[in-house]
Amino acid sequence: MRKIGIGIAGLGTIGLGVYKHLEGNRRLLTERLGLELTVTKIADLDPERPRTPMPPRELFTNDWHDLINDPEVQVVVELMGGIKVPYDFVTAALEKGKIVVTANKALLAERGKEIFALAAEKRVPVFYEAAAAGGVPIIKALKEAFVANHIRSMHGIINGTSNYILTRMSQAGLSFDAALKEAQAAGYAEADPTLDINGWDAAHKAIILASLAYGFWVDTNDIHVEGIQNITAADIEFAEKLGYKIKLLGVVKADEACVENCKVEVRVHPTLIPKDHVLASVNGVFNAVAVNGDVVGETLFYGRGAGQDATASAVISDIAEAAVALEIPRPNFGFVPHGLYAGCKPIDEVITPYYLRLAVVDRPGVLALITGILSEEQIGISSVIQPESSEEQTVPLVLMLHSAAQGRMNRAAEKIAALDCVKCPPQVLRVETFA
C-alpha cells in the first residue's frame, strides 16, 4: 500500500490534534483511502515542550525548510499562525511541488490571491477547509456541492468567542467585560482577544467565503468590519423586547436585482436577528452558516467552529483529499476565478433597517429634533421605545428605523450626535430581515 508522507509545520493545539487523530484513526483512514497517511516530519520552534501524545523525537526539526527539502514529505500542513512566515513556507512548498493544507484564515484573507495564482502556475493544489468555520464543512460545499448555484447570500455566525460573549450577555445578563473574562477563564477567548471581539477573525473567514462564492478575491480594504466591544447590556435588553437577538454576523450577499455582473456585499458587524430565525438560536461557541443558492434554495451548516478536535477533523479531511490528489491530479488548485460579478459594493450603498439607541436629555421637543433629522435624510421610523422618566436627567431613547442606505444613516447619526440634548455617541446597529 502506498504511503503518503505528511509534514506538519506548527505543533500547537491544532497541530497536536491533527497528529493525535491521524495516529488514532490510522486504520480507519487507511481502509477508507486505500493509502497510508504517515507523519514523516514535524517542524516546531520548541520540540522539547511536553505534549500528549508526544511524537517520536526523531520526527522533529526546528526549521520548516527541512519539510520542504525532505523528499519523503509529499503533503505539507501549515498550522503555524501569523502571515509572513506561513506565506514564505506555503509559497516555498508550492515552488517545490508539494501539496499544501492550511487552516490559516488570516494568511488566505491577506495573501490568498497571490497564493492561488502561484498554485495555478505550479499546478499544485491548496486545501483549506479548516480556514473558515472550523469543523463545519462549508468550503467543500461551496466548491463542490453548490457548483451549479449562483449564491444569493450567506449569513454566518463564524466566530465562537464573540458568539459565546453575546450569548452570556443575553442569557445571564452579564456586561461585556464580565462575559469576556468568563470566556477567557473557560478557554474560549485568548489572553489577547482583539481579533475575535473587533470582528476581524470573522472578517477573514467572510473574505474566504465571499471569494469562493463569487469568483474574485476580496480585498481586505473592501470589507466593512465592526466588532462587539461596544454592545451593552442595554442593547441586549432592548433587542429582546423588540423581538431580536444580537449576533456578530458575517453577511455576503449579491445584489437581488441581477444574477450576473452585480456587486456583492461583504460585511461583518453586530446585527439584530429576528428571534424566530434559526441563526438566533445558535449559542455559545457554535458556528452556523446559512447559504441561499438559486438552485438549491436555503441550506444551513452548523457545528463547532473552533477547538482542537473540530479543527483537526477539517484539517485531516484536507490531508485525505490531498493524498487522493497525488493519485488523481485535480483540474483546479483551490480557487477558480471568474468575471461573473462586478466586485464589492461600497458600504455607504448597502441598504438595511437600523436600530438606533440614544441617551438624551428628558425634556420636551427632543424627539421632534431627532425625527426631523431622520426625515431630512429620508429615513422612516417603524417604532420608538422610551422608558418612563425617573429622576435621571438622561434617559434612553430607542428607535427602529426603516431601510436606508448606510451613507444616509451615517449622516443622520452625525447630525444627531451634534445635538446638545444627546449626551452619548449614538449606538447604530443593523437589522437583518433575511427577506
Residues catalogued as catalytic:
205
Phi then psi for 139, rounded to 5 degrees? -65, -50
- Report whether 435 contacts 422 (CB < 8 A): no
**Cβ neighbours of residue 391 closer than 8 Å, sequence gap 6 or more:** none
Q: Which of 333, 337, 339, 336 is nearest to 118 (CA)?
A: 333
Is 260 strand, coil or helix? coil
206 — alpha (psi -120 to 50), left (phi > 0) or beta?
A: alpha
**Cβ neighbours of residue 221 closer than 8 Å, sequence gap 6 or more:** none
Cell triple for residue 225? 468590519
Q: Which of 216, 56, 61 is nearest to 151 (CA)?
A: 216
Instruction: Dump strand ranges (E) for 28-133.
Output: 36-43, 60-61, 75-78, 99-102, 126-127
Cell triple for residue 84? 509572513
What secondary structure does DSSP assign to 181-216, as a single string?
HHHHHTTSS-SS-HHHHTSHHHHHHHHHHHHHHHSS
Pairwise CA distance, residues 302 & 285, whole Å: 11
The cell 498554485 sits on which residue?
119
Residue 51 host element (H or E): none
Burial classification of residue 404, based on how many CB atoms lie within 10 Å of its CB (0-12 exposed, 13-18 middle, 19 or more buried): buried
The distance from CA 107 to its chain's CA centroid, rounded to whole angstroms, is: 13
- Report whether 170 contacts 245 (CB < 8 A): yes
